[in-house]
A and B are shown apart, each in its own frame.
Chain A
Amino acid sequence: MAKTLGGFNKEFWLVNAIQFFDGLSYFSVIIILSMFLSDNVGFSDYEAGAWQGYFFLFITAFMFTVGSICDVIGDKKSFLFATILLMLSRLGMGVFPGLMEGKVLQYSIGGLLFIMALGTAMLVTITNTALRHFTNKDNRGKGFNLYYLIMNIGAMLAGFVVCDGFREVLGPVKGNLAIFTFGFVMSAICFLCAFLINEDNMEEKDENDGSGEVKTPLKIFAEVWKESAFQKLVLFLCLTLGVRLVFTHQTMVMPKYYLRTMFADFQLGAVNSLNPLIITVGLALTMNFIGKFNIVKLLVVGMTLSALSLLFLAFPGEWFLAIPGVNNLDQAYRFVIIAQILVFAVGELIFSPRFTEYVASVAPKDKVASYMGLSALPMFIARPINGFVSGLLIANLCYDGVKAKIETGNIEYLESPEFMWMIYFALAIISPIAVIALKRTLTQDNAEEQKPAEEAKAEA
């Protein structure tokens, strides 16, 4: 088979190109989505939060089923279909606010969010599958590392180049529309890349080709829900829900928090670029030795750090004026924002890989994939709730103009954005405490299953 750059075939690089160009759009759109819904579409903060919740709910719901569909229609058609959906939805979002208004606009955007969620779920699923198809056992590890690196480079550029660039040059409102229009162009490029994919160049085909029965998520659920290992997993997933929701705050709450406690022209994208930068560098640095530590201990450390990072945001800004070099509230807020991102990113890079590892370790060897797929179920319930909670808290504690009231002493702590973060902190810190409290239950059978779990981990 013809190899190109780096020992990979052309299709591998096309898949990565799709991932990169789509990442430029996806990550910049995610940063500005809440502002777009409020400023361009006219939703209140509360409604914007709710719609963001629906959007993530749609993605989670679609992820359960599109995998089976992608398997059937093949990689190329899946890519083409996903990019067409993304093209349509992003173009619509960039153009509709200029063509319609009021409720018509709001419901049209709701429909487009639905389409964008389907396109996103499909693209994420098919990218992972295609990477497996266009690599072999020898170069797969390297291939996935490259993919992860390229994705994070895309996420970084999406922040300070795409998001900040358009908002700075065109202004916050027109900038949001331009980011969607840019997303349309990126999806068109992805479509062209998908068009060039030749499925005959697959290095490895699915094991169940030709005969395997595709299991649906509810069927898998019906099979495993009585298993004690699965019940243990569900307990673990529920316990960690609080801290995992903090991860969604980075996109649902943070952008408005940054703009409202700092400025409308704050470098929103640049600070969002810090997270992928730290994760990429951190993973490279810790990859070799972190596996030596106990999974549950690492999970607790990661969750605790992620939760504690919120304390920076939860303490009154004036407290940070005592730090040398921090002379005013603007600098205090800048300090807490950067500090939170740094500590949170370290927590995330410890927690996220261990989370997947834990799910794989508790699953019976032949059901790792099923358990992995079903591990998203609690998020399916939690995401819409989180959308409403974030909308409610932003509307009441972090509204546009709150900075003016903070500076002039019109805001008590219980009315401040800091109190909002204290609420989130209280929700998040329950997770590590609960995992420590129930550690015995969660790890009870792990010693016996250590050997199969190791194999399962490798498989995952």
Chain B
Amino acid sequence: MAKKNVNYKAILKDGFILMVAGLAFAIVVKLGFDLLQGDVQDSPLVSLIIQENTAKITETIQKDKTTVNKQDDQKRTPLMWASYLNYGNRKKITAKNGEATDEDADPIQKFLKTVVYDPLRKLLNVAGENKKEDGTNVENPSLEEKRLEMTKLLLENGADVKIVDEDGWTALIWAAWTGMPTVVEELVKAGSDVNVLDNQKQSALMIAAQRGNDKVVEILINAGADRTFKNAAGKGAEDLANKYMTQFPDRKANYEAVIKALKAPVQPKPVEMSPETSPAEEKPAEEAAPAEAEAKPAEEAKPAE
């Protein structure tokens, strides 16, 4: 091929000028937008929680103790992040090896599962063919088990269960919304107030009832959650469960279990409180978490630090 009469320097110079002009412009824009956004940095623990990097969580807290209760833009703490998951197929939260069956999946999801996901799972050997010494398969923990481990770790390192976010949600309310009974249990043990109300005057029990998280509802009732509270719209936990049961017929059985638990006679069986975190350990159960406990609005709960 014949050589072209090309001025390399001019091309590179133009590229460089454009690059510098672009970057200079971007920096000016950044300065302007930084003023709008403010200087709120997420806790490094949040990324580690999302990445399920439990080992690094301890290391990071040990380096800087303040990270454990550091709040983000929405005033959420790492403990709240650990208590939150949002899966459409909720069976994935409790499924081992990340594999959940979903009988209610729509035809497209079923098609994708057969044609794409299952072959890929086999190809990548995700189910884990690793064997234990006794010859059985090694099981990967479920998402809930991982979150429970992180919750314990954060609590051991001084995570405060009483902090609320900008909407008055505690870590317990986040766990109640998500539907992780073991995490809820752990937070209650650590001294979470089951009757804190958010800015809409909703308790963890109401939110769990609305989501049809029957096991969480049972734990909260046993821990002394008040079933008589009404939210800002005048709806109680049972009203919410009834309303949402019509919206989510596929979760009818869960909502029915919620309503049954809400109607059952009061059986205060508070979850055992952890000795380090609960000053109520020597009090009688009813006193520690009385069913008729007065509701504490979020504003009275521990303010953002």
Interface, chain A (partner B; CB < 8 A): 39-42, 44, 46, 50, 53-54, 57-58, 60-62, 64-65, 68-69, 71-72, 74, 97, 101-102, 160-161, 164-166, 168-171, 173, 178, 199, 205, 208-214, 216-219, 260, 262-267, 270, 327-328, 330, 380-381, 384-385, 388-389, 391-392, 395-396, 399, 401, 403-405, 407-410
Neighbouring B residues of A173 by C-beta, 8 Å: 50-52
Cβ-defined contact, A216 with B85, below 8 A: no
Q: Which of A54, A217, A407 contacts B26 (CB 8 A)?
A: A54
Cβ-defined contact, B84 with A404, below 8 A: yes
Within 8 A of A (CB), among B214-260: 231-233, 244, 246-249
Cβ-defined contact, B177 with A214, below 8 A: no
B264 at the A/B interface (Cβ < 8 Å)? no
Contact flag A165-B120 (CB < 8 Å), given A263-B86, A388-B30 = yes
Min CB distance A324 to B, Å, is 14
B14 at the A/B interface (Cβ < 8 Å)? yes
Neighbouring B residues of A164 by C-beta, 8 Å: 112, 116-117
Cβ-defined contact, B37 with A395, below 8 A: yes
Neighbouring B residues of A409 by C-beta, 8 Å: 200, 231-233
Task: Return the CB mask of B126-165 against A: 1 if under 8 Å, else 0.
Answer: 1000000000000000000000000000000000000000
Classify the secondary structure of B's interface with A: helix
B15 at the A/B interface (Cβ < 8 Å)? yes
Cβ-defined contact, A214 with B120, below 8 A: no
Which of B2-10, B180-188, B266-274, B284-292 participates in binding chain A?
B2-10
Neighbouring B residues of A408 by C-beta, 8 Å: 177, 198, 200, 202, 207, 210
Min CB distance B110 to A, Å, is 12
Cβ-defined contact, B210 with A407, below 8 A: yes
Within 8 A of A (CB), among B185-203: 198-200, 202
Cβ-defined contact, A65 with B5, below 8 A: no
Min CB distance B70 to A, Å, is 13
Tell me the bound Cα distance from A128 to B37 in angstroms.
Answer: 41
Tell me the bound Cα distance from A360 to B128 in angstroms.
Answer: 57
Q: Which of B26, B174, B247 contacts A327 (CB 8 A)?
A: B247
Interface, chain B (partner A; CB < 8 A): 1-8, 10-15, 17-19, 22-23, 25-26, 29-30, 33, 36-37, 40-42, 44, 47, 50-52, 56, 73-74, 76, 84-89, 92, 98, 108-109, 112, 116-117, 120-121, 124, 126, 167, 169, 174, 177, 198-200, 202, 207, 210-211, 231-233, 244, 246-249
Neighbouring B residues of A208 by C-beta, 8 Å: 4
Cβ-defined contact, A165 with B117, below 8 A: yes
Cβ-defined contact, B88 with A266, below 8 A: yes
13 A-B residue contacts at CB 8 Å?
A39-B47, A46-B33, A64-B18, A71-B6, A97-B51, A169-B98, A169-B120, A173-B50, A216-B10, A217-B14, A217-B18, A218-B14, A410-B169
Min CB distance A265 to B, Å, is 5
Neighbouring A residues of B18 by C-beta, 8 Å: 61, 64-65, 217-218, 380
Cβ-defined contact, A42 with B44, below 8 A: yes
Cβ-defined contact, B177 with A404, below 8 A: yes
Tell me the bound Cα distance from A53 to B26 in angstroms.
Answer: 9
